């Protein structure tokens, strides 16, 4: 594929953005065939209907799909064909001169339009690359393999041109085991992303610092409350975050603190069931409305089981008739699937059920305990080696 004469772009994404969609040999061959066909039709129709002058629009059409260099080549091909046809057809000097000038001007405008398109596409690619980098600082790519658990997931923001929405998740390997959070920020858009980033930043620090899981949750609560206080000062809407926070120590049990979030589902021995959480507290950012302190409770997490955590974008997806997505009914048929296959099946089924119409961000993550002797790589969940190790484990 040919590339434009624009300055080198920063990465592969930008190079793809400015690359030609049609190869140069194909383009020139098509132009030759088009020119031959138009000339033949022009000869057959006679002077009553002149078709060759209409070829001045070809550079403009080429500029939509091709590079600047290809557009220039198309213009240099078309100009002689049209100019010679004008000279052969005869007429007054001013008619021929105006026809030649119009042809040159039309070709020049086509080249200029192509150059402008390339610059615009390159700028958009650079902005998107920067946005991807920034948003990856908010949500890390999955899967992540820690000492205690393999975590994989799917994430589909309601705004398809964004990588991050109002749903959040994070996995932290701490001295006290693996800490996991999944949450759903009230509302959508940049304001919701800001609250989510504040919650994630506090979680990342507290997960390593706090020995008790309730201490981690209290730190995240304080961060959301501080963010809401700042939002109130600037006239923005205060928001809360529903969240489920887990702690895994590798001993076959999970500690959970539920802050108004949906209970997870456990898939084990051919059965899929909701995990009963008896102590559900208020969402993050609303602790001052409740007099009860948050309490952690223990859940069984047997070997080989898959724990599925998700946001309400899954359960509140609707079909064309307005019916909600029957998650539990669907999971009952997928109990033998591995974590990655389960997530892919769930995602595809959600898209089919809703007809591709997203009403909310969708996030779902799976947890499967590693063997007691498993050790995570230094760059778990980041490098290609860690990803291959995680994918191999997920297929067990």
Q: What is the mean pLDDT of residues 212-236?
A: 91
Residue that is written with structure tokens 């300055």 in the block? 7
**Is 166 inside any structural domain?**
yes
Flag whether pLDDT at 12 surpasses 50: no
Indicate whether 375 and 325 sit together in one domain: yes
| In-domain check, residue 6 | no
Q: Do 125 and 207 sit in the same domain of this protein? A: no
Residue 89 domain-assigned (yes or no): yes
- Mean pLDDT in residue range 351-366: 88
| Strand pairing report for 253-259 and 280-281 | parallel
381 band by pLDDT with thresholds 50, 70 and 90: very low
At 238, the pLDDT band (50, 70, 90 cuts) reads: confident
Beta-carbon contacts of residue 180 (< 8 Å; ≥ 6 apart): 149, 151, 169, 170, 171, 172, 245, 246, 247, 248, 309, 365, 367
Q: Report in angstroms the alpha-carbon separations of 82 from 72, 85, 98, 105, 383.
A: 15, 5, 12, 13, 57
- Answer yes or no: is pLDDT of 379 > 50: no
Report yes or no: 231 and 308 within 8 Å, Cβ to Cβ. Answer: no
Where does a domain end: 112, 134, 156? 134
307 and 389 housed in the same domain:
yes
Q: How many CA atoms lie within 13 A of 35 on its CB side?
A: 20
d(CA 259, CA 88): 82
Q: How confident is the model at residue 207 (pLDDT cuts 50, 70, 90)?
A: very high
Does residue 384 carry a pLDDT above 60? no
Q: How many domains does the chain fold into?
A: 2
Judgement on whether residues 98 and 198 belong to the same structural domain of the protein? no
For the cut 60, the answer to whether the pLDDT of residue 163 exceeds it is: no
Q: CB burial class (10 A; 0-12, 13-18, 19+) of residue 277?
A: middle
**Considering only 85-89, 165-169, 279-283, 353-357, which range has the smallest mean pLDDT?**
85-89
Question: Is the pLDDT higher at 129 or at 116?
Answer: 116
Task: Evaluate whether residue 304 is within a structural domain.
Answer: yes
- Give me the count of residues in the chain: 396
Say which range, 1-5, 89-93, 109-113, 148-152, has the weakest mean pLDDT. Answer: 1-5
Q: What is the mean pLDDT of residues 326-338?
A: 95
Q: Inter-axis angle of helices 93-136 and 68-89, to 10 degrees?
A: 170
| Per-residue confidence (pLDDT) for residue 48, from 0 to 100 | 53
Looking at the fold, whether 130 and 251 belong to one and the same domain comes out as: no
Identify whether residues 20 and 115 lie together within a single domain: yes
Could you tell me the CATH number of the domain that includes residue 145?
3.60.40.10
pLDDT higher than 50, residue 14: no
Note whether residue 3 is domain-resident: no
Give the residue with greater pLDDT, 40 vs 87: 40
The range of the structural domain enclosing residue 375 comes to 137-394
* Range ranked top by mean pLDDT from 64-73, 111-120, 215-224, 298-307: 215-224
User: In this predicted structure, what is the pLDDT of residue 67?
Assistant: 85
344: number of Cβ within 10 Å: 14
Specify the pLDDT at position 87.
Answer: 72
What's the gap between Cα 274 and its chain centre? 29
Tell me what the pLDDT averaged over the chain comes to: 81
Residues 304, 328 within the same domain = yes
What pLDDT shows up at residue 134?
Answer: 65
| Residue that finishes a domain, picked among 134, 166, 193 | 134
CA contacts within 13 A on the Cβ side of 110: 29
**Residue 50's pLDDT band (boundaries 50, 70, 90)?**
low
**What gap in Å lies between CA 156 and CA 158, rounded to an integer?**
7
Q: Prior bond to 143 cis, omega within 30?
A: yes
DSSP 42: H
Estimate to the nearest angstrom the gap between the alpha carbon of 203 and the chain centroid.
23
């Amino acid at each position: 594929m040919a590339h434009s004469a624009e300055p080198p772009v920063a990465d592969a994404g930008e190079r793809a953005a400015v690359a030609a969609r049609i190869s140069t040999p194909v383009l020139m061959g098509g132009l030759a065939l088009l020119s031959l066909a138009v000339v033949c039709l022009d000869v057959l129709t006679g002077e009553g209907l002149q078709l060759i002058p209409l070829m001045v629009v070809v550079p403009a059409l080429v500029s939509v799909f091709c590079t600047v260099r290809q557009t220039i080549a198309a213009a240099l091909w078309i100009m002689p064909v049209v100019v010679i046809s004008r000279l052969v057809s005869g007429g007054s000097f001013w008619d021929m001169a105006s026809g030649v000038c119009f042809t040159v001007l039309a070709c020049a405008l086509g080249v200029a339009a192509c150059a402008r398109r390339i610059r615009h596409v390159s700028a958009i690619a650079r902005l998107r690359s920067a946005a991807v980098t920034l948003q990856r600082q908010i949500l890390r790519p999955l899967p992540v393999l820690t000492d205690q658990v393999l975590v994989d997931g799917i994430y589909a923001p309601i705004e398809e041109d964004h990588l991050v929405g109002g749903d959040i998740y994070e996995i932290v390997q701490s001295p006290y085991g693996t800490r996991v959070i999944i949450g759903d920020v009230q509302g959508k858009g940049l304001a919701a992303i800001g609250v989510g980033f504040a919650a994630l930043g506090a979680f990342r620090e507290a997960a390593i610092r706090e020995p008790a899981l309730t201490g981690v949750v209290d730190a995240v609560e304080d961060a959301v409350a501080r963010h809401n206080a700042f939002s109130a000062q600037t006239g923005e809407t205060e928001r809360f975050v529903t969240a489920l926070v887990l702690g895994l120590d590798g001993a076959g049990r999970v500690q959970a603190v539920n802050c108004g979030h949906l209970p997870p589902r456990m898939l084990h021995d051919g059965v899929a069931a909701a995990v009963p959480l008896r102590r559900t507290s208020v969402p993050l950012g609303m602790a001052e409305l409740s007099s009860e302190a948050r309490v952690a409770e223990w859940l069984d997490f047997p070997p080989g089981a898959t724990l599925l955590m998700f946001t309400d974008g899954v359960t509140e997806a609707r079909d064309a008739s307005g019916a909600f997505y029957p998650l539990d009914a669907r999971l009952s048929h997928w109990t033998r699937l591995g974590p990655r296959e389960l997530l892919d099946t769930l995602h595809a089924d959600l898209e089919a059920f809703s007809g591709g119409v997203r009403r909310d961000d969708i996030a779902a993550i799976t947890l499967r305990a590693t063997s007691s002797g498993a050790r995570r790589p230094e760059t778990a969940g980041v490098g290609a080696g860690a990803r291959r190790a995680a994918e191999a484990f997920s297929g067990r």
